[in-house]
């Protein structure tokens, strides 16, 4: 029995590897590396559709984020900074713990103090991220003053992860908003506190001194209006899924019924709406208590198959 399971799972693994192999082999990383100046002190760097930033001052550099593990872009960035500028990297700021934004950031450990939100450390340590580990953490807000440039690190509560922070250079009107500002939908809502996210998006939309918003994904620079558009999408998705749940509908029914055609200006509706609905359902399942209270046994069945949790009378 054990052998058969092993053989079956090995065969599935091989099939999956064969299916994934050519795609993985075809991906050429780091072909489009770039550095772009966006204000007096702020530069945007990246490759493969993903971007970090750095802030150049007369006394040193603040680097924001790592990059995809296989891209090789962090080693490239380190050599570019040494070539272009004659000041060291003094601070490395990690926007949040997700591997694609911290990987290989330890290349700056030789000169930089690493800074992040206080919740970031347990995630980096637990998941054994390939990352620098913050030396200094903070709770709500912290200012760095370097070479006459003020950099404000801002936590607006749990949102996309419980440790995501924004990097604001108020005197230059630049806000670096990794994985919150975006051109289109999130792939799904895992690791998101949806209610915290909605509050955070409202806060960010009202923040003073923001002319340019730098997202972590996609080449386009964004404006502050991006925050309320994403807010309105998430609020509408939240309300539509919740209404169906209160009416006692099951997850398969809700996946068929919820459309978001009024948000087609946001990219990714066709590719990502379904996982957005499913993970919103998951969030709201844990948020609400139906009138027909589920027993513990029913709750387990309901998580496994939502047809077991029709709750409307």
* Interface size with Zn ion, residues (CB under 5 A): 2
Rg of the chain over all Cα atoms, to the nearest angstrom: 22
Closest residue to Zn ion: CB criterion: 98
Q: Which is nearer to Zn ion, 162 or 179 (CB)?
A: 179
12-41: contacts with Zn ion (CB under 5 A)? none
95-154: contacts with Zn ion (CB under 5 A)? 98
User: Is 65 one of the binding residues for Zn ion (CB under 5 A)?
Assistant: no
Is-contact 120 97, C-beta < 8 A? yes
Is-contact 266 184, C-beta < 8 A? yes
Token pair for residue 158?
A: 């749990």
182-241: contacts with Zn ion (CB under 5 A)? none
Nearest distance, CB of residue 186 and Zn ion, angstroms: 9
Nearest distance, CB of residue 99 and Zn ion, angstroms: 9
Q: Which is nearer to Zn ion, 169 or 189 (CB)?
A: 189
Is-contact 35 52, C-beta < 8 A? no
Q: What is the spatial distance between Cα 54 and Cα 266, in angstroms, rounded to a whole number? A: 28
Nearest distance, CB of residue 96 and Zn ion, angstroms: 6
Judged by CB under 5 A, the stretch of 1-9, 133-141, 175-183, 273-281 that binds Zn ion is 175-183
Nearest distance, CB of residue 160 and Zn ion, angstroms: 6
Cα torsion angle, 40, 150, 157, 109, sign:
positive
Pick from 55, 179, 186, 210 the residue near Zn ion by CB under 5 A.
Answer: 179
Q: What is the spatial distance between Cα 120 and Cα 104, in angstroms, rounded to a whole number? A: 16
Cα 214-219-220 angle, rounded to 5 deg: 60
The residue ranges that bind Zn ion (CB under 5 A) are 98, 179
């Amino acid at each position: 029995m054990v052998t058969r399971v092993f053989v079956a799972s090995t065969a599935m693994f091989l099939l999956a590897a064969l299916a994934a192999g050519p795609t993985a082999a075809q991906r050429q990383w780091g072909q489009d590396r770039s550095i772009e100046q966006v204000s007096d002190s702020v530069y945007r760097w990246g490759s493969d559709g993903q971007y970090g930033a750095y802030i150049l001052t007369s006394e040193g550099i603040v680097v924001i984020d790592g990059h995809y593990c296989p891209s090789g872009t962090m080693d490239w960035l380190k050599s570019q900074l040494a070539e272009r500028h004659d000041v060291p990297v003094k601070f490395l700021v990690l926007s949040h713990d997700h591997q694609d934004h911290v990987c290989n950031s330890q290349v700056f450990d030789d000169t930089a103090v690493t800074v992040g939100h206080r919740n970031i450390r347990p995630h980096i340590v637990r998941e054994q991220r390939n990352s620098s580990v913050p030396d200094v953490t903070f709770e709500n807000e912290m200012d760095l003053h370097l070479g006459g440039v003020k950099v404000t690190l801002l936590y607006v509560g749990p949102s996309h992860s419980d440790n995501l922070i924004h990097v604001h250079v108020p005197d230059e009107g630049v806000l670096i908003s990794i994985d919150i500002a975006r051109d289109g939908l999130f792939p799904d809502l895992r690791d998101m506190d949806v209610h915290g996210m909605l509050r955070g998006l409202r806060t960010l939309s009202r923040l003073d001194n923001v002319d340019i918003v730098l997202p972590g994904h996609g080449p386009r620079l964004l404006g502050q209006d991006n925050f309320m558009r994403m807010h309105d999408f998430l609020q509408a998705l939240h309300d539509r899924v919740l209404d169906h749940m209160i009416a006692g509908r099951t997850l398969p029914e809700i996946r068929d019924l919820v459309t978001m055609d009024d948000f087609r200006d946001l990219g990714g509706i066709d590719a990502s709406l379904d996982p957005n609905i499913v993970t919103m359902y998951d969030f709201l399942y844990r948020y609400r208590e139906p009138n027909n209270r589920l027993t513990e046994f029913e709750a387990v069945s309901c998580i496994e198959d939502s047809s077991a949790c029709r709750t409307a009378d």
